[in-house]
Amino acid sequence: MSRLLEVRNLRVTAGPLAVVRGIDIDLDEGETLGLIGESGSGKTVACLSLLRLLPDGLRTEADVLIYKDRDIASLPEREFRPLRGRELAMVFQDPVGSFNPAKRIGWHLRTAIARAGHDGPWRERALELLDGVGIPQPAAVLERYPHQLSGGMLQRALIAMIVALKPSLIVADEPTTNLDNIVEEQILALFRDLQKRLAAGFIFITHDIGVAAQIADRIAVMYAGQIVETGPTADILAAPRHPYTRGLIATANALAARAETLAEIPGQLPALDALPPGCGFAPRCAQARPACAQPQPMRPVGPGHAMRCLLDA
């Protein structure tokens, strides 16, 4: 596999506040990276910055931002815009915002198919795409407006549009949130099928490490704007090293076992204007020591496995 995306020291700031504090991302073609962490850890902001979709007031900087051996950090917007959607796509947590409410589903599919350069009849291709993502009665769905579809059906329609465009990099931002368990399993199965059908790289954002375990080749755990542990999924699940990762896994295991008492991580994420010195997780960590007040670099703890912690140092 060849390298698809290389990011070094990605930072996102809101005035004096650091939202994303220098993260590195490597992604190969056909690989899926699970980006996990609590809400507010910076996962979505980091990925929105890669696609230049951040709202006004947020600023992005990176030492290295390479996509397919091309430096995209310095591209002017007029050159970057054609990449967005066609090469770099995003599946949002709430699919409603991805659709024009005044246009039918058929219009959206026709637009995506035209942008992909499809030569044949658009309607035939649209029906094929909707059928391919498991939408029943696709001809009827083409005539409906977005508000006439359920959340799960809208996610399927959005995925059909992405299949039409065949992007090389797909970011999925918690696409199963707010779906019931059965629909969630169906959407995850659809993503696994998508992984096989497209030679794309995926960044799958989730707060649920159990979901990441089903979909990701590698996992990167974010906390307070930093990646605190990263490694192959099997290694992270079998031998988590960072206390935060261990806490996430313990909570997920308790939920899966339907335990009466959850193994919760005490405390909460720090506010952006009150980040602790050194390790951001130290105020919540039972194993914190005075040296944790110093900044902690990522360090290797196994093949392809690294963490930002003094434990076992």
Q: Would you state the pLDDT for residue 1? A: 66
Q: Would you state the pLDDT for residue 282? A: 94
Helices (H), the chain: 43-50, 77-80, 105-115, 122-132, 138-142, 151-165, 181-197, 209-215, 233-238, 243-256
94: how many CB neighbours lie within 10 A of its CB? 14
Q: Which domains does the chain have, with CATH numbers?
A: 3-87+167-307 (3.40.50.300), 95-166 (no CATH)
Parallel, antiparallel, or unpaired for β 59-61 and 88-91? Answer: unpaired
Average pLDDT, consecutive stretches of 10 residues, N- to C-terminus, the chain (313 residues): 93 96 96 94 96 94 96 93 91 87 96 90 94 93 96 90 92 84 85 85 92 94 97 96 94 74 80 92 93 94 95 74
The average confidence (pLDDT) of the chain is: 91
What are residue 213's DSSP bridge partners? Answer: none
Q: Would you state the pLDDT for residue 85? A: 86
User: Could you please report the per-residue DSSP string of 10-74?
Assistant: EEEEETTEEEEEEEEEEEETT-EEEEE--TTSSHHHHHHHHTT-PPTT-EEE-SEEEETTEE-TT
Q: Would you state the pLDDT for residue 260? A: 63
